[in-house]
A and B are shown apart, each in its own frame.
Chain A
């Protein structure tokens, strides 16, 4: 269970979340929808512990464990994963090198031995294969020269290898054409398990045609303005966010 209560977030001198509460049970996928500037990405960064995104009030916990007092790497080791809206390019560092460092750091934090290199490589190949990702990607420098679709598929591959308990997907659809969107969504769906929760952040309903959420939440002015089933996303698509912005 991922549980956020009365969260207040300040970033760049402005308060973007103002008492946001949200719960995602294990095994469920929820969508968080909101207009541009409603603080969706800010919330994602604050929950994963990025510098400059300060939680001034409230709590966030994963399976009962408080996250907010932890460094970003400690949150990751507890099982939190953020799929970036704009994944960062790191020239000179290969996908293999990066995943090896990440997986073994998480294992160390959990008191496990590092995974031997051959086993690790086998695991990465198997995960790439399961997501229909070309194994050549493993040798490339991180996100350098990747298309928009490849970047998001690499995020999915990282999730597959690191096996988080809870994943926040920040605007996974941004910058993707319809074909890439479908493929990335298939990757994400393949990673849904009865234990893993997901929060899919998006501006458009379109993504939710492919990643079907159990629940939809509307973010307006820093709070959840409404929650409902998948039909809520369709309503937003028809009527826009105005109603919630006026009411909030």
Chain B
């Protein structure tokens, strides 16, 4: 092992998540791979959907060890429908990377729930390679005190007629840090691409940090693209509205945060998966306000 091989904040893609510092005292080995997470994961799992196949994959990313890395390559063949849910929790360093290829008429839908840890980074790299493909890339991060959660994604539309929808919502507590880096690239030939990207973060207390780097790189001229990015405190007007109806402040805060986060969960998920996600968000909020 040689810590100098790991990226620190001088590497642009890791500027808000200093991996080198986070694993300074942890032994690790680097295998082969296209990037540092793939190398730490010692290779790539592969999940391939046949044409027309529908599948939901749930990845639990629990860093029971001080350093855990996993990397998966997904292929969504023509007209297939792939739903990927990543649930991250634990205390150490957790790294996840997915490379996803989306073919013509296929749908790739992802939802990431990250509770952070010493450093948790969930990276998704989507390549839209067939006409009329659709990508939905939502996520929620909840960074408690001292936790660091990083949702990073790149969607590259290489051909036209594709749709990308991204909605990331997150909260950070005192000394918690949330990171969103989202890049959408529309290649010159990817005409009629329709891409929307939104990130909204709430700083729950003084001393919370949220870093966002939204990027739209559009090289085609006949496209529809929009993005929005906000970070701020909880809506004080909404808080007063609830309190004036009798809801105590702590409960009103929890309800408002819950309502804010749940909006990012996609409709139509498998009910058991949906319940697990809402249950985890609720449990995180109850723990904070216990």
Q: Which residues of A contact B (CB under 8 A)?
A: 48-51, 71-73, 75-77, 81-82, 84, 87-93, 97-98, 101-103, 105-106, 109, 141, 158, 162
Contact = CB atoms under 8 A, between A and B. Distances in A.
A51 B244 CA distance: 11
Interface of B is mostly: helix
Contact of B256 (A71, A75, A93): A93
Interface in B77-127: none
Q: Which 3 A-B pairs have the closest CB atoms?
A: A92-B259, A76-B246, A93-B259
Contacts of A98: 242, 245, 255
A92 B262 CA distance: 7
Contacts of B260: 91-92
Nearest to A107: B246
Nearest to A159: B245
Contact of B244 (A72, A91, A103, A109): A72
B235 interface: yes
Contacts of B243: 49, 71-73, 76
Given A77-B246, A105-B246, A162-B246, A90 B251 contact: no
7 contacts: A48-B244, A50-B240, A71-B243, A88-B241, A91-B259, A92-B258, A98-B245
Interface bracket on B: 20 to 34
B275 interface: no
Contact of B255 (A50, A84, A93, A141): A93
A169 to B, nearest CB: 13
Interface in B237-270: 237-238, 240-249, 251-252, 255-256, 258-263
A82 B244 contact: yes
Contacts of B5: none
B243 to A, nearest CB: 4
Contacts of B245: 73, 76, 81, 98, 102, 105, 158, 162
B251 A101 contact: yes
A141 B258 CA distance: 13
Q: Which of B237, B244, B249, B261 has the most CB of A within 10 A?
A: B244
Nearest to A48: B244
A207 B251 CA distance: 36
Contacts of A97: 255, 259
Nearest to B263: A92
Nearest to A168: B244
Contacts of B242: 90, 98, 101-102
B244, B246, B249, B262 pick with most chain A CB within 10 angstroms: B246
A102 B263 contact: no
A225 B242 CA distance: 33
Contacts of B238: 88-90
Contacts of B255: 93, 97-98, 101
Contacts of B25: none
A88 B248 CA distance: 17
Contacts of A84: 241, 244
Nearest to A109: B246
B95 to A, nearest CB: 30
A73 B241 contact: no
Nearest to A103: B246
A26 B249 CA distance: 29
